[in-house]
Chain A
C-alpha cells in the first residue's frame, strides 16, 4: 500500500528531505545576465582550460557537485547516491563527472527536465529511508549542445526568433534527511505530452502542454491553488512558452499571472544579450534553483515554490525523421516550513 501517494501523480513526502546546500557554476554569458549576483562561480572562459567543450562541461558539473558537497561541510564519501544528467549523447558529461567522485551513481536523461527528475528521485530515496545524503545535479553547455543539435559555432546561420540559447552551467543540490530546510515536500511526476510540434527551434511550444498537465495535476492532487505558492516557475519554456502557458492555464481555470515565471526568461536579458526567446538546457533550471531560488528561500523572500522543469525529448535523428517532440515536466514543491 503506497501510503505517501496522493491523487494520481503526486507523492507527499512524510519525512521531507532538506536542501542543505547548493552550488552553481555558469559561463561568462550567464554571468553577465540578470541573475549574476546569485551564482557561486562565473567562468571567464567557457572552455575552462580544457581542450574540448565536452570536457569543459564535465568539469563544470564535477566542480559544481564538489562545491555543493563542500558547502554542506561534507566530503564525497559521505554521499550515498548521485543523481545527475545532461544533454549530450549517452549523458557523457555526467558519467565523466561521476568517474572522479566515486559516489554510487544514477545517470538520468530527462533533457531539460532532468534537474527536477533528479530531485524527485533523490527526495523519494531519502524519504523512503534508503539514504541520508544524496546529491542531485545537471549540466549543459552552449557549445557542446550546439555542435550536437545544431550547426558549427562559426557557421553563419540566422537563428529564428523562437529559438533558445542553451545555458552553459551546472547546478548541484545536496539533499539530507536532517537539516533545517528548505524542504522538498511534494513530488509530482509528469506524463509525456505530445501535441505534434516538430520544430526543434520551438521547444518551448513543444513543452508547454507537459508543464500544464503537471501543474494542473499537482493542484488537483494536493488541493493547492496558485495563491498558495510564492512562486511557480517552469524550467525553460522561454518567452513564447511562458505566455502560452499563462493563457492556456487561464483556460484551465487557473490564474498564474501574479506569481509565475520561467527560468528560461530569467537567466538572460534577451534583448541586450541577443538570446531570442530565452534560455534552455539542463543547466537552466539547475542554476536558477541552485542560485536564485535557494538564496531567496534562505532569505525568507520566498517560502513556498513550485519548480516544474520541462524537457523536450527529441534527438537530432528524430527531428530529421520528422517525428514530433515529446514534452515532459516534473514538479517539486520546495517549502521553508514543514507542517
Chain B
C-alpha cells in the first residue's frame, strides 16, 4: 500500500461505505416522532377534560411521557423504537427519559453512587449543559434587547 497516501485511502474508503438510507430514515422518524406527539396530545386532551388548566396540562403531559419513556426503556422496548425511529424517538421527551434510564440500568453493577448516579447523565449531560446554557444566553439577550418587557 505504499502507493496510497492517507488522504487517498480515506477518500477510497469514503466511497465504499454504504450511505445511510436518508429518505427511509426521515419517513420513519416522522412516523415514530409523530406518533409520540399524537400520544402526548391525547394525554393532554384527557388531562384538560379533567379540568386542569393549561400550565398543569403541559407539565402533567411531560411527566406522563417521561414515565412512559422510562417504562418502555425498563422493559427493553425503547431501544427497538429508537432503532426504527432514529431522531423521531430521540428528540421527544420520551427519548430524554431513555437517555437517562438506560445508563442508570446499565451501570447498576458499579453501585448506586459511582454507577447509577454518576453515569446517569453520560448521554443526557450535554443536552442539559447546553440546553440550560443556551436558555440563559437567550434570557440575557431578551432582557438586553427587549428591555425585559
Q: Which residues of A contact B (CB under 8 A)?
A: 51-52, 147, 151-162, 193, 195-197, 202, 205, 209, 212-213, 240, 243-244, 248, 251-252
Which of B14-22, B39-47, B52-60 has 4 or more CB atoms under 8 Å from chain A?
B14-22
Given contacts A161-B20, A162-B18, contact A155 B103 (CB under 8 A): yes
A-B complex: 8 closest residue pairs judged by Cβ atoms: A156-B82, A152-B106, A154-B102, A152-B102, A155-B102, A196-B6, A161-B18, A195-B9
A194 nearest CB across to chain B (Å): 8
Whether B61 sits at the interface, judged by CB under 8 Å, is no
A15 nearest CB across to chain B (Å): 34
Query: For residues 76 through 100 of chain B, which have their beta carbon under 8 Å from a beta carbon of chain A?
Result: 76, 78-83, 85-86, 89-90, 95, 98-99
Q: Is the CB of A162 within 8 A of B17?
A: yes
Q: Is the CB of A240 within 8 A of B123?
A: no
Cα distance A163–B83 in the bound complex, in angstroms: 14
Complex interface: chain B residues within 8 A of A152 (CB): 102-103, 105-107, 122-123
How many of B's residues come within 8 Å of A, CB to CB?
39
Whether B13 sits at the interface, judged by CB under 8 Å, is yes
A220 nearest CB across to chain B (Å): 13
A197 nearest CB across to chain B (Å): 7
Q: Is the CB of B10 within 8 A of A209?
A: no
Cα distance A97–B7 in the bound complex, in angstroms: 42
Complex interface: chain A residues within 8 A of B3 (CB): 251
Cα distance A213–B9 in the bound complex, in angstroms: 14
Whether B109 sits at the interface, judged by CB under 8 Å, is yes
Cα distance A161–B17 in the bound complex, in angstroms: 8
Whether B146 sits at the interface, judged by CB under 8 Å, is no
Cα distance A153–B102 in the bound complex, in angstroms: 7
Complex interface: chain A residues within 8 A of B107 (CB): 147, 152
Q: Is the CB of B16 within 8 A of A240?
A: yes
Q: Which residues of B contact A (CB under 8 A)?
A: 1, 3-4, 6-7, 9-10, 12-13, 16-18, 20, 25, 73-74, 76, 78-83, 85-86, 89-90, 95, 98-99, 101-103, 105-107, 109, 122-123
Q: Can you list 13 pairs linking A and B with CB atoms under 8 Å apart?
A: A152-B123, A155-B79, A155-B99, A155-B102, A156-B79, A156-B83, A156-B102, A157-B82, A157-B83, A158-B86, A195-B10, A209-B9, A244-B13
Cα distance A251–B80 in the bound complex, in angstroms: 42
Given contacts A152-B102, A156-B78, A196-B6, contact A51 B95 (CB under 8 A): no
Cα distance A156–B84 in the bound complex, in angstroms: 9
Q: Is the CB of A243 within 8 A of B9?
A: no
Complex interface: chain A residues within 8 A of B90 (CB): 156-157
A88 nearest CB across to chain B (Å): 13
Q: Is the CB of A158 within 8 A of B16?
A: no
Q: Is the CB of B73 within 8 A of A154?
A: yes
Q: Is the CB of A147 within 8 A of B106?
A: yes
B121 nearest CB across to chain A (Å): 12
Closest residue on chain A to residue B94 by CB atoms? A156
Q: Is the CB of A197 within 8 A of B105?
A: no
Cα distance A220–B109 in the bound complex, in angstroms: 50
Complex interface: chain B residues within 8 A of A160 (CB): 20
Q: Is the CB of A156 within 8 A of B89?
A: yes
Complex interface: chain A residues within 8 A of B109 (CB): 51-52
B7 nearest CB across to chain A (Å): 8
Partner of A156, one of B12, B95, B105, B122: B95
Given contacts A156-B90, A162-B17, A243-B16, contact A151 B102 (CB under 8 A): yes
Closest residue on chain A to residue B109 by CB atoms? A52
Q: Is the CB of B17 within 8 A of A240?
A: yes
Q: Is the CB of B18 within 8 A of A155?
A: no
Q: A153-B102, A156-B80, A244-B13 are in contact. List 19 more A-B contacts (CB 8 A).
A: A51-B109, A52-B109, A152-B105, A154-B74, A154-B106, A156-B78, A156-B81, A156-B83, A157-B79, A157-B83, A158-B82, A161-B20, A162-B17, A193-B1, A197-B9, A205-B13, A209-B9, A240-B16, A244-B16
Cα distance A205–B14 in the bound complex, in angstroms: 10
